[in-house]
Amino acid sequence: MTTSLHVEQAGGGLPLVLLHAFPLSSAMWAEQRERLASRCHVLTPDQRGFGASPLGPDAPDLAACADDVVALLDRLGLDRVVLGGLSMGGYVAMALLRRHPERVRALVLADTKAGLDPEAARANRLRVAQDVERHGNGGLVEQMLPVLLGSTTTTERPGVVERVRAMVEQAPPSAVAWAQRAMAGRSDAFDVLAGADVPALVLVGDEDVLSTVDDARAMTEVLPQGQLAVLDRAGHLSALEVPDAFADAVGTFLDGL
């Protein structure tokens, strides 16, 4: 069953749905809503369990997250949208593309990857899920901050570091565990991207150590209409770290649709 997602909206016209990273909320898209609202109708839902959206009773599965987004589109009377996602949001976007391709007019995939986790990374996701259920997510902050943010942000953007720290601290342990298990069980999505003959923008921070420039290039090469934008001095949360450059790249892409 689907969960009714809380959503923040701004602007009008062409609908652009932006799905947030793990373990954040739609709050990470505040700058993008502000910057892109003059160009399109920006929708930033809280994915299930995060922000103001309930977790629901379903077993961990990104397909459930994808169906949540489609239920939101149905509720708002939106047919085809530009679908964007960063990190986990990208995984959900690819799951939606697999299940509901007719709802996607164009794609924006940021700091994410189509391949599976290496076995060690998958095992770590399951370990973290178990750990946060037992002990809360206090240890998650120190584990994740160094890999979520690029080295430039860590040294030169203390405000961004503290904002991300606060968002990670606010993530409910139940949602963290659910999402980790869902991501651990996800499918390889290269076949989905290869069949997605829609305009597609792939963005990546040049300092991203979780979803690398090579990962982004691999997705771009299989997408029939893929184009790549590498954002300088940004890590895994490029939309937060270099919001102007991110919005400029997305805005230019939207102008071309």
* pLDDT for the residue numbered 139: 86
Spell out where the chain has E strands: 7-10, 15-19, 41-45, 81-86, 104-110, 200-205, 226-231
Domain boundaries, the chain: 7-115+186-255
Q: Are 147 and 236 in contact (CB under 8 A)?
A: yes
* pLDDT for the residue numbered 144: 92
136 phi-psi bin (left φ>0, alpha ψ -120 to 50, beta other)? left
DSSP string of 67-80, one letter each residue:
HHHHHHHHHHT--S
* pLDDT for the residue numbered 178: 98
* pLDDT for the residue numbered 138: 82
Q: Global pTM?
A: 0.98
* pLDDT for the residue numbered 137: 87
Dump pLDDT digits (tens) for 82-121.
Answer: 999 999 999 999 999 999 999 999 999 999 999 999 999 9
**The two structure tokens encoding residue 196:** 């997605």
> How is the chain split among helix, strand and coil, in percent rounded to 5?
50, 15, 35
Fold of the domain spanning 7-115+186-255: Rossmann fold (3.40.50)
Give every residue of the chain whose pLDDT is below 50, as ranges: none
Dump pLDDT digits (tens) for 128-145.
Answer: 999 999 999 888 888 899
Closest alpha carbon to 51 in 17, 82, 84, 21 = 21
Letter string b/e over residues 87-100, b meaning 16 or more CB atoms within 10 A of that residue's CB: bbbbbbbbbbbbee
| Residue 137, CA distances (Å) to 132, 142, 230 in order | 5, 10, 32
d(CA 67, CA 86): 18
